[in-house]
Copies of this chain bind each other. A is one copy, B any other.
């Protein structure tokens, strides 16, 4: 095989993998990369917001889960990522008194890095909207302004739920 052919194959493989990546991974939100795989992270807590009729799952990466379950959350350690997954609410058809997820709204994340994000209180703030995970890019200040009530607890609303210790 000629060198030209090998180069062409190399270029075409490189291009196709770039295309695959840009096809699949959502664009950055506030210059923060998409935290691929969050759908399988472990849970920190759940909530039901009765002021805007949404149900929420609060999950975390390994650093966050370890911190939450050992009570090391004020401040949260660098490397922790917290995710909040939001659905509109509905009533379960077969048990009307159970409020359950309806349509998916968005997934939003706080990335703890006290140096990198020192201008935004030690956290990177990001959100991806809808099932197609369109990046939110209207500015971290919008996120931060809602979190002012919890500025004294490292800007985090969530109290990690109690779980039995792992055997």
Contact = CB atoms under 8 A, between A and B. Distances in A.
Interface string A119-158: 0000000001011110000000000000001100100011
B65 A55 contact: no
Interface residues of A, number: 55
Contacts of A48: 48, 55, 98-100
B43 A57 contact: yes
Most chain B beta-carbon neighbours within 10 Å: one of A87, A97, A157, A164: A164
A46 B55 contact: yes
Nearest to A149: B94
B161 A101 contact: yes
Nearest to A23: B167
B47 A56 contact: no
A166 B161 CA distance: 26
Given A48-B48, A103-B162, 11 more contacts: A25-B167, A46-B46, A46-B101, A47-B92, A49-B98, A51-B98, A95-B157, A101-B159, A104-B163, A131-B164, A132-B164
28 contacts: A37-B166, A39-B42, A39-B69, A40-B42, A40-B166, A43-B59, A46-B55, A46-B56, A46-B101, A47-B98, A48-B55, A50-B97, A51-B97, A57-B161, A87-B161, A94-B149, A94-B153, A95-B157, A98-B157, A100-B158, A101-B162, A103-B162, A104-B162, A104-B163, A104-B164, A131-B162, A131-B164, A133-B164
